[in-house]
Structures are given as C-alpha cells and as structure tokens.
Structure 1
C-alpha cells in the first residue's frame, strides 16, 4: 500500500549531491503522518478521539542514493500489531520501484489526555484491520534485521 508520494526537494540534497541521510528520516516521518490520516488520525481525528501515535523505535536502512527532483513513494506493510501498537515496515521507492531505503518502526497509540499508552479507538482499530499485512515467515527480506558486525 503506497501511503506517500513526494519528490526530493532541493534543500534535501547535501554536499555529496544526493539526498542527505536525515532527509530519508523526514520522508519516513511524513509516511507515518500519512498513515495516521489513513487511520482517521488526521487533525480532526486526533481532536475527536484525543488520541495519537508516537514512534517508539525506528531502524532505517539506506540502500541507494537518490537525487534532487526524483519522484519517491513510500510503501507500507504491517508486520504485527496488538491493541495499541503497530509494527510497520516502510519501503522508500523510486519510479521504477527500486528500494532506496527501508524504515522498520514500532508505533504506540497514546491517549492525549493522560499521555499514556491506550488501545486504539474503535474506528481506528477498524482502519488498522484494513492495512496490508504479512506473517513473520513472509516479511520483506530487510525486515527484522539487527545491527551488528558479521563475524
């Protein structure tokens, strides 16, 4: 499921002539915001439900360079979930659907009144149930990785 389409802005390009590493994180952050809209947690939904999502953890892998003006898409796969958390996997794609970067994230549902974790409101839960999922044996190759030196 594509959750975001954008382009590499001129101000995202660094002294090496390609998109700066921090800007990949920006695009994935925008993808989380787009996911929130999909789930009914746009500004009106956050106000109505007094509910939001926080990012608890992220693992970003850089795969390819991308240059100014390039068209980008972010594809979402839901890897796992419970009553208040989403384990998501985003792939940053170019026009030919080459994977430029990935971001695996754990998102937590938060009651804005108490600022504590809380189960998804019913309409949000219903929207979560429509997200594309994969069982652990079918995860994308880059999902579930850990950082470490191979010995």
Structure 2
C-alpha cells in the first residue's frame, strides 16, 4: 500500500512539474514577434535595435505608410524599445497601429491610435492608445521613425496594409 501511495505522489509531482513548465501556448507574445508575424519587415533583435538593424536592408523614414513598422527607442520605462505595424494612416499626425505587449503583458491590440506629438512633426515623439486608461498614453515615447517593407514604394497610395 505504501508503495502505491509513493507512486501516486511521484506521478502527481511529475505531472505538476510538467504543467508548471512554460510552453508556447502560455508564452507571452512580444512586440517583435508580433511585428514579424504581421508585416513584411523581418528583422531580428530587440525592438530598440530595429532601426539600426534595418539600415542597408530596408528603407527608413519619417512618413507613416500602411505596412511600415514604427520603431520606438529604448527608454527607462521600456528598455527594449517597441515596434508597431501601421495599419492605416489617418492624417499626417494620426495613424492606426497593430502591436503587442503595450497595454498589458502579451496583449495584442489592432487598429489603435498613435499620435505624433513631436514639435517638428517628424514622429520622433509619439503617444499611443493605452487600454487601462482608455486614452492615448500620458507620456510621449521617443521613436526613431518608420521602417518600410520592400513591398512598399515611395508612393504612399500603393502602400500594402498590414496582414492580420
């Protein structure tokens, strides 16, 4: 009987240990992984490095285009930076973006507002919709600019929207 109890306890502990291991189904989706999944920009590294990693492989600029990736700089609040895919250009200062891991860990948000609040109108400072406050964020986040997939041309009217 004691042998059966020991085996049952061992089986339970083994099952508990297996269930406690992280799996792909339980992993939190990061912004970089999500941006690669839904865009034609395929860059590796932390989000803060995408701007420099894009040099020589992708065109970069300060004008939003559907399908482009908006690359945020790293800060104390977001040391790894952030990337988001432009879903739609509303006007020169407003875009809708798709991104992950902004309003909550692993949370995917589609078609949320991002606003250029830079003095120069160059998208170097951006406020982004933040679900917990139901408003654009209270702080401006520094951005490097937009990384254009090879499928985009200089003509914004031919811009391909983000997948997904």
Q: TM-score, normalised by structure 1?
A: 0.28
Give the number of the structure whose residues are more often strand, by fraction. Answer: 1
The TM-score, its normalising length taken from structure 2, stands at 0.27
